[in-house]
Amino acid sequence: MASWGEASQSRLIGKRIARLSGKEKVTGKAKYTFDINRPGILYGRILRSEVAHANVTDLDLTRAEELPGVKAVIPLIEVGRKVRFQGQEIAAVAAETDDIAKDALRLIYIELEELPFVVTEADAMAEGAPQIRDDWKGNQSNPGTNKNGDVEAGFAEAAVTVEATYHTPVQTHVCLETHGHVAEWIDEQNLTVWASTQAVFGVRNDLARRFELPANQVRVITEHMGGGFGSKFGPGVEGHTAAQLSRMTGRPVKLMLTRKAEHLVAGNRPSMTQHVKAGATRDGRLIAYDMRGYGTGGISSGAGFQAPYVYHVPNRRTERFNVAVNAGNQRAMRAPGHPQGAFAMDSLMDELAEKLGMNPLEFRRINDSNEVRQAQYTLGAQEIGWHRRNSVPGSGTGIKKRGIGVGSGLWGGGGGRGTQARVTINADGTVEAVTGTQDIGTGIRTAIAIIVAEELGLSPTDISVKIGDSGPGLPSGGSGGSQTTASVAPVIKTAAAAAKQKLFEHVGPLLQAPVDDLRVGTGTIYVASDRTKTVAWRQATGLLGQESISEGGTWDQELRQGGVAGTQFAEVEVDTQTGHVKVLKIVAVQDCGLAINRLTTESQINGGVIMGLGQALLEERIMDPQTGRMLNANLEDYKVPGTFEIPEIKSIVFDTHRKVTGVGEPPCIPTLGAIANAVYNAIGVRIRELPITPDKVLTALAEKKA
Amino acid sequence: MDKFSYVNATSLKQVTSLLSDSGWGEVMMIAGGTDLLSELKEYIETPKTLVNLKTLPGMDSISANASGLKIGALVTVADIAMHPTIQQHYTVLAQAAASVATPQIRNVGTLGGNLCQRPRCWYYRDETVNCLKKGGDICYAVNGLSKYHAILGGDPVYIVHPSDIAPALIALNASLKIAGPEGEKTLKVEEFFTLPAANPFRENVLEPNEIVVEVQVPQPKPNTKSFYLKAREKGAPDFALASVAGVFEMTGKTCQTASVVLGGVAPAPWRSAEAETALTGKMINESVSRKAGAEAVKDAQPMNDNVYKVTLTQNLVSRTAMMAVS
Ligand SMILES: Cc1cc2nc3c(=O)[nH]c(=O)nc-3n(C[C@@H](O)[C@@H](O)[C@H](O)COP(=O)(O)OP(=O)(O)OC[C@H]3O[C@@H](n4cnc5c(N)ncnc54)[C@H](O)[C@@H]3O)c2cc1C
Ligand code: SF4
């Protein structure tokens, strides 16, 4: 049976190894799609609707076409159709400079007949609201319901019940590198695209379909990528447009979204509102749960969330629906549906525990059947100093009050088939690992080097890792669902093992030993039964002469495993005079399976915590019911965590087994509940609506006093 | 942004004559550009000519002596924040400057630009919204989203003045030198800023052909304590939800004179005479400072989304006063 071996035998796997591209990135040498420049490049831009809902009654591109330097103008909507959200594509231009392209957009004439719009869930659900989707009745989708056990009987058995409404607003992805492409037709039948994407092969296949080309005549390259978080799986309108403009002009076209467009159209995490009633027995068992909730994914559906979450309730009923509003549509965003659900559930758990007079951690232990998380509770509580929390919430003295809270999460991340990889050993000793995955910042490039180096007795920097390119024709899946490492690692390992085996066949005669008696050392190959017999790596590969070894791999079920548990503890300090919440410390205990690279795994946890913190305290898409516009489609009023917000983060890689599991998404889940519960523990007033901004804290404190 | 011609300034005379021919917006001055450039990029302003002030000689230094400070309009925010004399004797000013934006912006943003910067109101900054300040019919904040808007002195325009430095200068009783076609004049910084009732379109008395040249700050009495407190949602960069510049002349725990100027709550920096009265001549303690806070917001008229600012401002005023005795 294939295995990753014992920890004690690993030279590299599980150690802390610096990211291979780290130096390139911090010195600005790394080329992102934004940095790609091609001879004769043109700049593409998209004109977008500035209104939320309207009929397009006229569109005239002539004046833009006549502007010197403009090479192509195309409509992206037909007269007679509707625009249904601010940011919707109207037309696009390609020009000699970006400034000309920008000027050209302003010369496009568009006539709109404005229609009534709704941009908030409340307005959309109000009586008499204008209907904004032709395929729905009203602005609510048919509810999906789910029922288990006997809810009424459950409530009858409950000693305490809590009824509450929890809300999280729409959050946007805020990819540091906005969505975009550089498209270049090599000839009429061959298209090369540099894409800021999480799915090199996904983009290739999509573009091939769109332009009716054989897939192998489209090449997609993503050397480095500046953040996707679930929003960059396909070329989208902007990718199609870039390729089309390039085809029309016969020149390369770069088309990157503006920051504003990034907020408006490049996806978002849907909102969530839950009205929930839940009950627990005197001895602390969750017994009944009744939830009605909704969210908006903008003009699209897909606003799902987890409820109940993590903790088991035997008798439960849930009803969920989508609310459509005139706003850009949702896309998958880091652990779709989980952070929202976790915030509500973790808040609810604390509220129930308080009614029972029970320690909220104790209450969780009773209702959590997951053994990993049980162990994490113990470790995390120790790390944060759980005993220091206020046994009576809000009982601290002074202006700045501290509190401690806990939250939980779960995820899959077991990987899947669909990756092909090749490991090549050349006669000069160089080693290449090639596969069509992409490094979206999680560190798969380094992980691949580590795995190959471990297998061949080399150092990670000896391995040349070629990824983020569909050119070699070795497909791999999109980087989503925390699946990348668990999908790629087994294939890389088996490919490296196969290449090693082939090399051993050459080395056997030299060392006069059977192949299965050969082992790799550090830069050497030796005979296990007689360690005096050894050959240096470079000498061994020299035996290949004019040949190279090039081996593929297979995905091996036994090398990976899905299903992770996580828990986080937060300590906060709330300034009761200003309402400002400062997170002092987060302890994140994350079930990780086998961490190929402990350092980048920790980075991944840090990043998740920061993202969760942003959602807990700062981030919110603000839609104006008056103008139908997003008022904070920038990074001034859409506030993401900055240096001052980042607390001490204790990221604990919680090893549970030696199989690879993805952890890209789960570390952003428990943060919200942990912070919200810590705020409650500090001030004794519960804030059920995120983000927890000073206005909400001050209002809550004032209500408490009154 | 639209095309414009760019002229390097050589003298105040040249600048004021370049500005003279047109009203607002045709010819504009650029200093650090940290505010103006975003206005150009968003097409909020579309000048034909930009006059680069950075080439003006002699306007980028700080001189400090026993009678006070002279700070040229081109001095950067960072230079103010890091000046040892300012840090020691004009603490409120150094703290206010240090609270501005980020190191990058402080390094290029200037004093003149900071005082003359335009509102951050999210309707104002949106090209497609033609609100009252831009010559339209209504202030969208009134029935719209007003979390960051004014609780004092609004009507008919509810912006808050974004400058952190202005409240500090007013609290220090500073003056400002302005050059125009007819020569120079000096007025109190406090008189420089205006409320929308007087002029909804501008935030100060500057004429289209005038330029801020220098700020003069009298040296505070030796027994003076001063502080700038700024509440914000995010550490940096973030504008004030509310801020307080407090300058207190103390004898022991007794406050001889008090200057209390609020930022982030009104269309102009807002001197709170009420808070000053509540503190002057008093032994400062919890109840006196609380009273001063309450007095400061006595006339507040919050909008739909900014009721919290009343409490916040009140608390900040009290906290600033307490700092004078701690
Ligand atoms: C992200 C961000 C965060 C910020 N945060 C803060 C903050 O927290 N606090 C704060 O106070 N400010 C903040 N600012 C505003 C910042 O632009 C100012 O602080 C800066 O000092 C402006 O100076 P400047 O030289 O760059 O002005 P410019 O952009 O050059 O000019 C601004 C305006 O003043 C006019 N002007 C410039 N100099 C003169 C002069 N001598 N006489 C007459 N008119 C003049 C210009 O014509 C223009 O209209 C922030 C800005 C940004 C972009
Ligand atoms: S506060 Fe001023 S700038 Fe903002 S909408 Fe009202 S009038 Fe316009």
Q: Is the pLDDT of residue A308 over 70?
A: yes
The verdict on the CB of residue B291 being under 6 Å from ligand 2 is no
Residue A1: per-residue pLDDT = 63
**Same domain for A340 and A278:** yes
Evaluate whether A161 touches A239 at the Cβ level (below 8 Å): no
Ligand lying closest to the C-alpha of residue B230: 1
Instruction: Render pLDDT for A17-35 as a digit per residue (tens, 0 to 9).
Output: 999 999 999 999 999 999 9
Any domain includes A306: yes
Evaluate whether B56 touches B74 at the Cβ level (below 8 Å): yes
Residue of B nearest to A626 (CA): B144
Residue A705: per-residue pLDDT = 87
- For ligand 2, the distance from its centroid to the CA atom of residue B159, given in whole angstroms, is 6
CATH number of the domain within which A49 lies: 3.90.1170.50
What is the DSSP pairing of strand B27-30 with strand B49-52? Answer: parallel
Domain that residue A544 falls in? 7-30+415-559
Residue with tokens 């300590």: A571
**Same domain for A484 and A422:** yes
Query: Which phi and psi angles does B95 have, rounded to 5°?
Result: -65, -40
Q: Is the pLDDT of residue B62 over 70?
A: yes
* Mean pLDDT for the stretch of residues A693-702: 97
Closest CA to A232 of A198, A267, A193, A204: A198
Is the Cβ pair B126, A636 closer than 8 Å? no
For chain B, state the CA radius of gyration: 19
Evaluate whether B212 touches B116 at the Cβ level (below 8 Å): yes
Ligand lying closest to the C-alpha of residue B162: 1
* Residue A679 CA: distances (Å) to CA of A277, A365, A687: 22, 21, 8
**Same domain for A573 and A468:** no
Is the Cβ pair B128, A637 closer than 8 Å? no
Residue of B nearest to A625 (CA): B144
Of B120, B122, B235, the CB nearest to A643: B235
Residue with tokens 């058995």: A157
Q: Is the pLDDT of residue A497 over 80?
A: yes
Any domain includes A528: yes
**Same domain for A228 and A108:** yes
- For ligand 1, the distance from its centroid to the CA atom of residue A105, given in whole angstroms, is 29
Any domain includes A132: no
Residue B2: per-residue pLDDT = 87
Specify the amino acid at residue B90. Answer: Y
Cα A59 to Cα A109: distance, rounded to the nearest angstrom: 6
Any domain includes A54: yes
If one counts the domains in chain A, the total is 3
Ligand 2 atom nearest to CA at B122: 4
Of A629, A636, A699, the CB nearest to B308: A699
Is the Cβ pair A644, B235 closer than 8 Å? yes
Is the Cβ pair A636, B237 closer than 8 Å? yes
**B151/A contact by beta carbon, under 8 A:** no
User: How close does chain B come to A30, measured CA to CA in Å?
Assistant: 23
**Same domain for A534 and A584:** no
Q: Is the pLDDT of residue B21 over 80?
A: no
Residue that is last in its domain, among A542, A559, A576: A559
**Same domain for A430 and A308:** no
Q: Is the pLDDT of residue B96 over 90?
A: yes
Any domain includes A148: no
Closest CA to A14 of A563, A684, A602: A602
The verdict on the CB of residue B121 being under 6 Å from ligand 2 is yes
Evaluate whether A421 touches A553 at the Cβ level (below 8 Å): yes
Running DSSP on this structure, what letter comes out for residue A597?
B
Instruction: Render pLDDT for A444-489 as a digit per residue (tens, 0 to 9).
Output: 999 999 999 999 999 999 999 999 999 999 999 999 999 999 999 9
* Mean pLDDT for the stretch of residues B239-262: 98
For B296, the token pair is: 């400061």
Contacts of A22 (CB under 8 A, 6+ apart): none
B281 strand-pairing partners: none
Is the Cβ pair B123, A637 closer than 8 Å? no
How confident is the prediction for chain A on average, in pLDDT? 97
Q: Name the packing angle between helices A484-511 and A444-456 (round to 10°).
A: 20
Task: Kindly write down the DSSP assignment for every residue of A617-656, as one continuous string.
Answer: HT----B-TTT--BTT-SSSSSPPP-GGG--EEEEEEE--
CATH number of the domain within which A580 lies: 3.30.365.10
Which H/E stretch holds residue B268?
none
Any domain includes A633: yes
**Same domain for A651 and A601:** yes
Evaluate whether A287 touches A279 at the Cβ level (below 8 Å): yes
* Mean pLDDT for the stretch of residues A623-632: 97
Any domain includes A135: no
Tell which one of B118, B129, B131 to mutate to probe ligand 2, the residue whose CB is within 8 A of the most ligand atoms.
B131
Task: Kindly write down the DSSP assignment for every residue of A113-142, as one continuous string.
Answer: EE-----SHHHHHSTTPPP--TTSSTTBPP
Instruction: Render pLDDT for A32-73 as a digit per residue (tens, 0 to 9).
Output: 999 999 999 999 999 999 999 999 999 999 999 999 999 999
The verdict on the CB of residue B157 being under 6 Å from ligand 2 is yes
Specify the amino acid at residue A16. Answer: R
**Same domain for A436 and A348:** no
Percentage of the residues of chain A whose pLDDT score is greater than 90: 98
Query: Which phi and psi angles does A146 have, rounded to 5°?
Result: -150, 135
Tell me the domains of chain B and their CATH numbers.
224-323 (3.30.390.50)
**Burial state string for A497-517 with b = 16 or more CB within 10 A and e = fewer than 16:** bbbbebbbebbbeebebeeee
**Same domain for A463 and A449:** yes
**A528/B contact by beta carbon, under 8 A:** no
Percentage of the residues of chain B whose pLDDT score is greater than 70: 100
Residue of A nearest to B125 (CA): A631
**Same domain for A480 and A372:** no
Percentage of the residues of chain A whose pLDDT score is greater than 70: 100
Residue that is last in its domain, among A539, A559, A579: A559
The verdict on the CB of residue B105 being under 6 Å from ligand 1 is yes
**B231/A contact by beta carbon, under 8 A:** yes
User: Other CB atoms closer than 10 Å to residue A535's CB: what's the count?
Assistant: 19
Any domain includes A206: yes
Q: Is the pLDDT of residue A14 over 90?
A: yes
Residue that is last in its domain, among A256, A281, A308: A256
Query: Which residue owns the Cα nearest ligand 1 atom 2?
Result: B101
Evaluate whether A256 touches A61 at the Cβ level (below 8 Å): no
Instruction: Render pLDDT for A156-165 as a digit per residue (tens, 0 to 9).
Output: 999 999 999 9
**Same domain for A49 and A12:** no
Residue B1: per-residue pLDDT = 87
**Same domain for A304 and A287:** yes
Residue of B nearest to A622 (CA): B145
* Residue A217 CA: distances (Å) to CA of A210, A242, A249, A475, B186: 13, 17, 19, 14, 72
* Mean pLDDT for the stretch of residues A128-135: 94
Is the Cβ pair A639, B315 closer than 8 Å? no
The verdict on the CB of residue B53 being under 6 Å from ligand 1 is yes
For A91, the token pair is: 């037309």
* Mean pLDDT for the stretch of residues A65-87: 98
Cα A525 to Cα A531: distance, rounded to the nearest angstrom: 10
Closest CA to A466 of A523, A421, A417: A421
